[in-house]
Amino acid sequence: MGSTAKSPEKSRVRGIYFLPNLFTVGALFAGFYAIVAAAHNLFHFAALAIFVAMLLDALDGRIARLTHSQSEFGAQMDSLSDMVSFGVSPAVVLYMWSLKALGKAGWLVAFFYMVCTALRLARFNSQSQQLNKKYFQGLATTPAAGVIAGGIWACTEFQIDGRDLSVFVMAITIVLGLLKVSAIRYRSFKDLDIRGKVPFIVILIIVLGFVLISFNPPLILLLIFSCYALSGPIFTLWGIRARKSVRRERSKKRNQDSNGNKKR
């Protein structure tokens, strides 16, 4: 009996890139730990775990690009990790910390936030090749989780009971979910070249940022992510107002030209 030769494609050993996926699994672990910590009423550690997941999530993509180890498997793994760390985890932690006081409405709002995260990730994955890399369509899952984690951390530092803020937290959660699935554009900062030269002032701003965060981490992080979440609607309204102003000026100019032609 003759032996059949194996093609190079079939004989090639299949595997996954270790380093970027290690950071992705680390982010997934941090997101899961946040849920476990919240189950034991350790909301301070739950918020910190979400921030750790955000840091690891930011590093896995950078490392994959720097080491040329990007893959379809890594992209899918990253998306699933984001769903747990920035969708399921913040929703569950929020419910246990504050929304539980609202009864059925509380867990429905937490579910709404989680579903908006899933829709946001599904839309991003399906349109990733078509979208402008400089902007996100809708609020990204990571900064939205940053607002939630920063708020919980700040409240625990000042010994504020989340149940006393349940109605306010419900409103914020709904707004964050709607911003995720909206068409509002947010700057992605993916066009920044960290390997190239930057002005000296950029380094100074980064150092100042670290100093401010070290001074009061929960409040400063909450402020940073809240400002980013608000930046999309603010710049959208600003752009609409600017376009309306330009149209009014053009219309005014056309009317003036028309009146001038009639006088002639």
pLDDT value of position 14: 60
* Domains defined for the chain, CATH in brackets: 17-191+212-253 (1.20.120.1760)
Task: Please answer whether residues 110 and 177 qualify as being in contact, where contact means their C-beta atoms are separated by less than 8 angstroms.
Answer: no
- pLDDT per position as a tens digit, 165-203: 999 999 999 999 999 999 999 988 776 666 666 677 777
SS3 labels along 165-217: HHHHHHHHHHHHHHHHHCCCEEECCCCCCCCCCCCHHHHHHHHHHHHHHHHCH
Q: Which of 8, 134, 144 is nearest to 86 (CA)?
A: 144
Per-residue pLDDT band at 1 (split at 50, 70, 90): very low
Burial class (CB within 10 angstroms; exposed 0-12, middle 13-18, buried 19+) of 61? middle
**C-alpha count within 13 angstroms, C-beta hemisphere, residue 177:** 21
Residues 63-88 pLDDT 10s: 877 777 778 888 888 899 999 999 99
- Can you give the pLDDT at residue 198? 65
Which tens digits make up the pLDDT trace of 7-28? 444 434 466 677 778 899 999 9
| Average pLDDT of every residue of the chain | 85
For the residues 29-54, what does the mean pLDDT come to?
Answer: 96
State pTM to two decimals: 0.84
pLDDT by residue (tens digit) across 120-136?
999 988 876 666 678 88
Q: Is the model's pLDDT at 48 over the cut of 80?
A: yes
Q: Which residues contact 20 (CB under 8 A, 6 or more apart)?
A: 60, 61, 63, 64, 67, 69, 70, 74
